[in-house]
Amino acid sequence: MKVQLLAIVVPVLISLSIQDTSGSQAEKDLIDSLLSKYDVMVRPTVRYTDIINVSFAITLQQIVDLDEKNQLLTTSMYMDWKWTDAYLTWDPAKFDGIDEIRLPAKKVWKPDILVYNSAVDSFDQMLQTNMVVRSTGAIEWLPPGLFKTTCDVDIRYFPFDEQKCTIKFGAWTYHGGMVDLVLPSEQATLDDYIPSGEWDLISMKGSRTSVKYLCCPHPFVDVTYTIHMRRRTLFYGFNLILPCVLVCSLTILVFLLPAD
């Protein structure tokens, strides 16, 4: 009985092992084929005059901190950027039906999009995660990041104030005739947002602008997201206003006590 069972199981395991090896080899051959002559320094277009359209979307996960004294906003977000790479296309039928692969960010050309109003030395604050590459050349990159940006904070009406902080993204060296940023929606994605204990998020909207600088003949495209938030007054009511009112009330009551 055991011999018969082994006679059935062993060929199946060998067959599965061969299939796995074949699949892995096909993926290796595909990656080798794509990257053998690929240059990350070259913008992947059929013609040099072609524009690469980058679909630019953001998901806000958390407002980590707003430092009023130093006027710094810290947010946790991840990007959702999509574009087409004319050099990373293949016929899935030639590679065991493989329709998509993952490649390290450093191996693939990507637009040099940075945070213009970054408050730290590293203007690129995103984790260099793998990219999803499809057989059509479609690239999707979803790098997360913890962003520290400048914010003009106005506390005249504290603790009943509202703040609007902007986060500005744009390509650093590619002008609008080479890389264009496209907003699929002006609203940032808030599905995974974790509410702040200090701030109520009112909205986060993006806008696309094209600016021509004195240094350069071509305009540069940027995307600016505005985070509109309202301070949670109840938080300060219990921790600041109420204790002050009670102390003042006790001070006034002292004068009502008899002199003796």
Angle CA(75)–CA(76)–CA(81) in degrees, nearest 5? 115
pLDDT score at 1 = 47
The string of pLDDT tens digits covering residues 184-195 is: 999 999 999 999
Pairwise CA distance, residues 156 & 166, whole Å? 19
Percent over 70 (pLDDT), the chain: 84
pLDDT score at 6 = 46
Domain 38-241 fold:
Acetylcholine Binding Protein; Chain: A, (2.70.170)
Listed in order, strand segments (DSSP E) in the chain are 52-67, 72-84, 100-103, 113-115, 131-134, 138-141, 144-150, 162-171, 179-182, 199-211, 220-231
Residue 237: pLDDT over 70: no
The string of pLDDT tens digits covering residues 85-144 is: 999 999 999 999 999 999 999 999 999 999 999 888 765 667 788 999 999 999 999 999
Give the chain's mean pLDDT. Answer: 85
Pairwise CA distance, residues 86 & 96, whole Å? 22
Pairwise CA distance, residues 256 & 227, whole Å? 50
Closest among 80, 69, 84, 146 to 115, alpha carbons compared = 146
The string of pLDDT tens digits covering residues 174-185 is: 999 999 999 999
> What's the pTM value of the predicted model, to 2 decimals?
0.79
Domain spans, the chain = 38-241
